């Protein structure tokens, strides 16, 4: 017995919704990064679901590239957040807007 593709898409939509809600409501940069990662994983689940349904490996190859870009984004973003936290003792996004030149 296989699980229908619609169930995977419903889970992906729910994950994306939770990530979008968290991104829009939270003010901590670390939580915002986690929410972006949650949204990217929801998109990856959608790619894999359609790849499995269509019998094509292109969706799974796309997931590989999305994961690589997400890892690079987390590395750079986390480095920036740590540097700002060391200087300001806060990771609030509201305080980061003061750093504009």
SS3 92: strand
Pick 5-90's CATH classification: 1.25.40.10, 1.10.357.10, 1.10.1040.10, 1.10.287.3510.
Answer: 1.10.287.3510
* DSSP-derived secondary structure letter, 99: G
**What is the domain partition of the chain in residue ranges?**
5-90
Q: What is the pLDDT of residues 9-18, one digit of tens each?
A: 999 999 999 9
On whether the CB atoms of residues 91 and 85 are closer than 8 A, the answer is yes
Q: What is the pLDDT of residues 47-64, one digit of tens each?
A: 999 999 999 999 889 999
| Predicted confidence band of residue 36 (pLDDT cuts 50, 70, 90) | very high
């Amino acid at each position: 017995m296989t699980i229908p593709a619609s169930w995977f898409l419903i889970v992906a939509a729910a994950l994306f919704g939770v990530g979008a809600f968290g991104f829009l409501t939270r003010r901590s940069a670390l939580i915002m990064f986690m929410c972006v990662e949650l949204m990217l994983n929801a998109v990856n689940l959608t790619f894999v679901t359609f790849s499995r349904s269509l019998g094509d490996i292109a969706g799974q190859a796309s997931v590989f590239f999305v994961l690589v870009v997400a890892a690079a984004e987390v590395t750079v973003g986390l480095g920036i957040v740590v540097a700002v936290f060391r200087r300001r003792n806060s990771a609030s996004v509201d305080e980061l807007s003061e750093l504009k030149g």
